[in-house]
Amino acid sequence: MSLRLLFLLAFTTPVSAEIIAVPYSDLRLELSNTLTFETLPQRPEPGFNLDHPLRSAGAWVGEHFAGQSMAEVVATNGSPHDALGHAFGHRPLSVQPGLPNRNLSIAFHRGFGSNAILPLGPDGFDRVSGRGEGALAVVFDTDQMAVGFRVHTDYAAPLGNIPSSGDVRVHFFTRQGYPIETKVLTPGRGISEFGFRVTDGPILGGMVVTNTDPGGIAIDDILFQIDLMLF
């Protein structure tokens, strides 16, 4: 086999699966685990600044995956947001933190009535315009066939003018770092629930969530499956 063919095989994704939208309420009954953020005390925003990846039962949470690069985009209100640059991750997927004060925060969220995670954007932890404008990466311990999460958007309108909403993008990856598909979501104001299923079975190793919402986003109640080992 020629070196050229080996190179092409190494950098060409073999994934042909499709991600379809399914009701979050169905997955809540079907999947065994819900990733919440209640292990930390309830502290109002800005909450806790986390400069490192976060471990939870069955998953790691960070900003992006090793091998990926981050870029910046500007929302309709002029605030900078994180976006994926180079999307392919190293194999196997592993989460990486963002820069100090630009990774993740966890705070009590009045909209959810519980702790939620806010990905920190370019403006960082210390500014309101930085909380919720970042990227959130989740890698699961085992490959998934379905996942879901809840997201809160909030458009500050001190003068009565609600800015144009942005979108939420969910980038799905195999454990080998290949992109499967990117879903572009348009959540309403307040809490929205989203569920996804892979058509070809459990090949989903992780996901990265980015957004261009003017007020940023908070995420809670990530659904996925943990398979118990029987000995």
- Residue 231 is assigned to a structural domain of this protein: no
Q: What is the pLDDT of residue 5?
A: 42
- Residue 146 is assigned to a structural domain of this protein: yes
| Structure confidence by residue, pLDDT tens digits, 54-76 | 999 999 999 999 999 999 999 98
C-alpha to C-alpha distance for 51 and 197, rounded to whole angstroms: 31
Determine the 3-state secondary structure of 119 from DSSP.
Answer: strand
Do 65 and 90 contact (CB within 8 A), yes or no? Answer: yes
CATH classification of the domain holding 71:
2.60.120
Mean pLDDT in each 10-residue stretch from start to end of the chain (231 residues)? Answer: 45 71 99 97 97 97 99 94 98 98 98 98 97 98 98 67 80 98 95 96 97 96 85 52
Structure-derived torsion over alpha carbons of residues 64, 70, 71, 76, reported in degrees to the nearest 10: 10
Q: What is the pLDDT of residue 157?
A: 54
- Residue 211 is assigned to a structural domain of this protein: yes
Q: Work out the burial of residue 166: count CB atoms within 10 Å of its CB; fewer than 13 is exposed, 13-18 middle, 19 or more buried.
A: buried
- Residue 6 is assigned to a structural domain of this protein: no
For residue 138, report the phi and psi dihedrals to the nearest 5 degrees: -130, 125
Q: What is the pLDDT of residue 200?
A: 87
- Residue 147 is assigned to a structural domain of this protein: yes
Domain count, the chain: 1
| Residues 6+ positions from 29 with CB-CB distance below 8 Å | none
- Residue 1 is assigned to a structural domain of this protein: no
Q: What is the pLDDT of residue 16?
A: 75
Q: What is the pLDDT of residue 164?
A: 67
- Residue 3 is assigned to a structural domain of this protein: no
Q: What is the pLDDT of residue 17?
A: 86
> DSSP E strands: which ranges in 76-189?
80-84, 95-96, 104-109, 114-119, 136-144, 146-153, 168-173, 179-185
And the tokens for 101? 């004060």
- Residue 73 is assigned to a structural domain of this protein: yes
The mean pLDDT value of the chain amounts to 91
Which residue's structure tokens are 């109640």? 221
> DSSP E strands: which ranges in the chain?
19-22, 33-35, 48-50, 54-56, 59-62, 64-65, 70-74, 80-84, 95-96, 104-109, 114-119, 136-144, 146-153, 168-173, 179-185, 190-198, 204-211, 217-224
Domain assignment of residue 28, given as a range: 15-39+48-224
